[in-house]
Amino acid sequence: MFRITTLNVNGIRSATRKGLTQWLEQSKPDVVCLQEVKADECDIPAESRPHGMRAWYHCATRRGYAGTALLTAKRPREVRLGFGSKEFDAEGRYVEAQFSTVTVISVYFPSGSSGPHRQESKYRFLAKFLPHLRRLVATGREFILCGDINIAHREIDLKNWRSNQKHSGFLPEERAWLSRVFEQHGWVDVFRELDPRPERYTWWSNFGQAYAKNVGWRIDYQIATPGIAKRARTAEIFMDRRFSDHAPLTIGYTGRL
């Protein structure tokens, strides 16, 4: 079995100070996908990388903004930074690592919550990313897409769904896009296949004691092609310690990378 952990760190330096590296060394995932690194590669502390793991970073050209990373104990056959979009590759939103049986991707979708201009950016991202997902499927390989998608798909995926139907992250257009990914293009929401329980969230606002009251959203996913999705066996949202405003999501798959 191999295990993949995904986490929006909301600043890799901050998460490192909060003990993320030590936790990863104890939990020993085979692949770690990080989002919102918020640092140039030269500014990322060496101690942020767990012992024995290699790291690849896709940092934004804008300093201290967005950024993704992929850490792995096994050397990939090939690593790709970016998915071919000039606008969004400049924001450091995509790292892809090809292994012998599966390709793992760390991705960070834009958030539209800061205003209409950012929501329009998010829609542009969705429009460009769907054809990319189709191209991936057409290769015939197995893929696991890990990251902060910034969309809660169903009512079960956020606590206060009624009051958020006009808010970014739960807009009808966003949810319909994700439904297309699952229902028309065959990708699988791996966590939801394994765990159908309500109140299973991965992000909480820093206001109003949201974390303590578990008033959250499930916006961090592992989305896989059907073959590898069938090999998923275990799923955990780790909440015993906090490294950012998101929680790590770890899924175990049978077989080898």
The catalytically annotated residue of 30, 43, 89, 148 is 148
Does the active-site annotation cover 195?
no
The two most distant CA atoms of the chain are separated, in Å, by 46
Residues 82, 86, 89, CA angle at the centre, nearest 5°?
30
Round to whole Å and give the CA distance between 79 and 56: 8
Round to whole Å and give the CA distance between 217 and 214: 9
Cα end-to-end span (Å), the chain: 9
> Which residues are CB-contacts of 124 (< 8 A; sequence separation ≥ 6)?
87
* Exposed/middle/buried for residue 3 (C-beta within 10 Å: 0-12, 13-18, 19+): middle
> Which residues are CB-contacts of 70 (< 8 A; sequence separation ≥ 6)?
31, 32, 33, 34, 55, 56, 79, 95, 96, 97, 104, 105, 106
Residues 67, 118, 6, CA angle at the centre, nearest 5°?
35
Active site residues: 148
